[in-house]
Amino acid sequence: MLDDLHSHAPAHVPDLYDHTPIATIEMASRPDDDFSDEPVDWIDLVDYRDTPERMVAPKAPVLKATEAVLLLDYPVDVAATRKIRAANDTAFTRDEVMSAILATYEAIYDSERLTTDDPEHSLEALGVSTVHVYDVDGTLWLSPEMIS
């Protein structure tokens, strides 16, 4: 479950580089061609939106927690935060985390398209390789490692 962008998230965004991740969520997808059976060690946002079944182990629980704050700071000019809640109130699945990342980027870019005639960002060629999990003063922060 997603809250509105920036809503109910802590007012202060910590510098996560000052902290050590307590966990890392690996993202992988199956190739979309007949040349390889090996999973790709990242997930393209557009491919995930269009063909979510390519995600490796989407229903696997990846973080035992009921809520967390998603922090997106690349490639955006201003970091975006969104509080997310596990659907089963026990643990997040890989699919829930990826869905939250995609929905948040879509909200950021939709807002950008409404406020400018020349949007700077696009989901094209943007993907997630891992999501680092930080515990900062009792709040779990999720920070995806984006690739483009």
Provide the mean pLDDT of the chain: 87
Share above pLDDT 90 across residues of the chain, in percent, rounded to a whole number: 61
Tokens representing residue 25 in the block: 């969520």
Closest listed residue to residue 9, CA positions, set 64, 65, 68? 68
Closest listed residue to residue 6, CA positions, set 63, 88, 76, 84? 84
Pick the more confident residue, 10 or 111: 111
Which residues sit opposite 139 in a β-bridge?
A: 136
What is the reported pTM? 0.88
pLDDT of residue 139: 95
pLDDT of residue 7: 45
Tens digit of pLDDT for each residue in 60-117?
Answer: 999 999 999 999 988 887 788 999 999 999 999 999 999 999 999 998 888 877 777 7
